[in-house]
């Protein structure tokens, strides 16, 4: 059992954001499989307050890309999952946002589990959330943008050029025992 636990920790540590993609189709079954894993994220009262718009169409990707300084990532990705908080399903703002974070992390882990596919969580677009809602004709009083997960086949050559050494703060910097 310890081997499985250690393998899981290593799996998590190897997950990283991918920002360079090769335009290559990702089949619907793979996308649905990633979403299937994500929907098991915890949520208060099992409210599951997420709404996902799956964007593959180039025109819609272009519209989204124009609202973000990371537009190139959005356009290069084969698919973008636009994640909204469904305000009518939620019951407690903090718990609902925590649930969305867990949902989005499950998406990223599900993407990481796929061969040759990577993803990036784009949060900067939140500055333009009303305009994103307009694209999908979603009322802002019912759906609040939480971010975009861009997914695509990894362009290994471009990723290596931009690769940086990954660091994490040591545990003793932020953990206290009582």
In order along its 178 residues, the chain shows pLDDT tens digits of 676 778 999 999 888 888 989 989 999 999 999 999 999 999 999 999 999 999 999 999 999 999 999 999 999 999 999 999 999 999 999 999 999 999 999 999 999 999 999 999 999 999 999 999 999 999 999 999 999 999 999 988 787 787 778 889 999 999 999 9
CB 84 within 8 A of CB 61: no
CATH number given to 26-161: 3.40.109.10
Q: Which residues, including other chains, have CB under 8 Å from residue 13's CB and lie 6 or more apart?
A: none
SS3 44: helix
Residue spans per domain, the chain: 26-161
CA within 13 Å, CB half, 80: 28
**Cα–Cα dist 52/100, whole Å:** 11
Q: What whole-number distance in Å separates Cα of residue 7 and Cα of residue 74? A: 31
The reported pTM is: 0.93
Q: How far is Cα 4 from Cα 67, in angstroms, rounded to an integer?
A: 42
């Amino acid at each position: 059992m310890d081997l499985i636990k250690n393998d899981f920790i290593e799996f998590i540590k190897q997950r990283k954001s991918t920002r360079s993609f090769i335009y290559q189709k990702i089949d619907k079954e793979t996308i649905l499989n990633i979403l299937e894993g994500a929907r098991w994220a915890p949520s208060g009262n099992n409210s599951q307050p997420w709404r996902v718009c799956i964007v593959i169409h180039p025109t819609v990707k272009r519209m989204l890309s124009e609202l973000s300084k990371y537009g190139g990532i959005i356009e290069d990705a084969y698919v973008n999952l636009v994640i909204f908080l469904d305000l009518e399903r939620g019951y407690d703002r903090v718990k609902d946002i925590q649930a969305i974070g867990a949902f989005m992390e499950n998406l990223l882990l599900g993407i990481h589990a796929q061969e040759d596919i990577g993803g990036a969580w784009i949060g900067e677009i939140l500055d333009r959330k009303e305009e994103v809602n307009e694209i999908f004709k979603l009322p802002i009083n019912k759906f609040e943008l939480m971010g975009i997960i861009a997914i695509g086949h990894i362009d290994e050559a471009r990723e290596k050029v931009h690769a940086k050494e990954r660091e994490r703060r040591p545990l003793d910097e932020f953990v206290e025992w009582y």
